[in-house]
């Protein structure tokens, strides 16, 4: 049996509704048995477990479309995913989550005594970052930037400023580009661009 649509918009709207309905069924905690879904983590990622306290974050439900592409639609379904491991889960990543008694848990390797895997990010200082007075870190704020899809330019990912900690005994000017890694709620400077002379 063949169906025709008057416009492409109608067909796309029906696909959107179908994906939304499948997403709702996928996250229904009343279902029995083991279920695994794919989600995209938020930009800030999901922090590591501290002691017995698990961290969680709202993630976008993801699915494979008809072009065999893994995609997520932030307007369809948000899923709260818990991190039960001792490692941070990086932001803006596709990961698997398994339902455990109605709660979604990230299915990632963790523990093993190897320490936390750290992901570096590019941060642009939006305030002057004070110098460290060892062992006290310098402080300031910045915005996280990422390469555009073509890889030719950088743009802010948005979402507000992040707190920056400076381990170096030199101040960092506002507007400086920094390479940082995430440590808890802060981004620690690895390297900063040299001030212009």
Summarised one tens digit per residue, pLDDT across range 74-116 is 777 788 999 888 888 888 888 888 887 778 888 864 433 334 4
Topology given in CATH for the domain delimited by 120-192: OB fold (Dihydrolipoamide Acetyltransferase, E2P) (2.40.50)
Beta carbons within 10 angstroms of residue 23's beta carbon: 21
Rounded Cα distance, 20 and 154, in Å:
32
Tell me the Ramachandran region of residue 68: left when phi exceeds 0, alpha when psi lies from -120 to 50, beta otherwise: left
Q: Is it the case that residue 69 has pLDDT exceeding 60? A: yes
Per-residue pLDDT at 17: 61
Rounded Cα distance, 194 and 158, in Å:
25
Residue extents of the structural domains in the chain: 8-106, 120-192
Cβ burial 47-77 (10 Å sphere, 16+ → b, else e): bbbeeeebbbbebbbbbeeeeeeeebbeebb
Q: Is it the case that residue 150 has pLDDT exceeding 80? A: no
Give the closest residue to 58 by CA, choosing from 91, 25, 26.
Answer: 91
Per-residue pLDDT at 140: 94
Does residue 71 contact residue 62 with C-beta atoms inside 8 Å? yes
pLDDT band at 165 (very low <50, low <70, confident <90, very high): very high
- Give the CA distances from residue 10 to residues 53, 145, 148, in Å, rounded to whole numbers and listed in that order: 46, 36, 31
Task: Evaluate the omega torsion of the peptide bond into residue 23 and state whether it is cis, within 30 degrees of 0.
Answer: no
Rounded Cα distance, 21 and 77, in Å:
10
Per-residue pLDDT at 11: 66
- Give the CA distances from residue 12 to residues 9, 29, 77, in Å, rounded to whole numbers and listed in that order: 5, 28, 18
Which of 36-45, 112-121, 160-169, 185-194 is predicted least confidently? 112-121
Contacts of 16 (CB under 8 A, 6+ apart): 73, 76
């Amino acid at each position: 049996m063949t169906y025709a649509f008057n416009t492409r918009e109608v067909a796309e709207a029906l696909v959107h509704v179908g994906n939304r309905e499948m997403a709702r069924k996928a996250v229904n905690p009343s279902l029995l048995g083991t279920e695994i879904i794919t989600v995209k983590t938020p930009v800030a990622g999901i922090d590591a477990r501290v002691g017995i306290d698990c961290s969680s974050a709202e993630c976008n439900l993801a699915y494979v479309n008809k072009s065999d592409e893994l995609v997520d639609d932030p307007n369809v379904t948000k899923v709260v995913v818990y991190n039960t491991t001792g490692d941070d889960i990086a932001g803006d990543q596709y990961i698997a989550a398994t339902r455990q008694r109605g709660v979604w848990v990230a299915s990632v390797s963790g523990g093993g005594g190897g320490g936390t895997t750290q992901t570096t990010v590019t941060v642009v200082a939006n305030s002057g970052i004070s110098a460290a007075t060892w062992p006290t870190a310098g402080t300031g704020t910045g915005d996280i930037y990422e390469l555009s899809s073509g890889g030719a330019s950088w743009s802010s990912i948005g979402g507000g400023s992040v707190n920056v900690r400076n381990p170096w005994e030199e101040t960092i000017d506002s507007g400086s580009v920094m390479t940082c890694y995430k440590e808890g709620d802060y981004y620690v400077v690895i390297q900063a661009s040299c001030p212009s002379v």
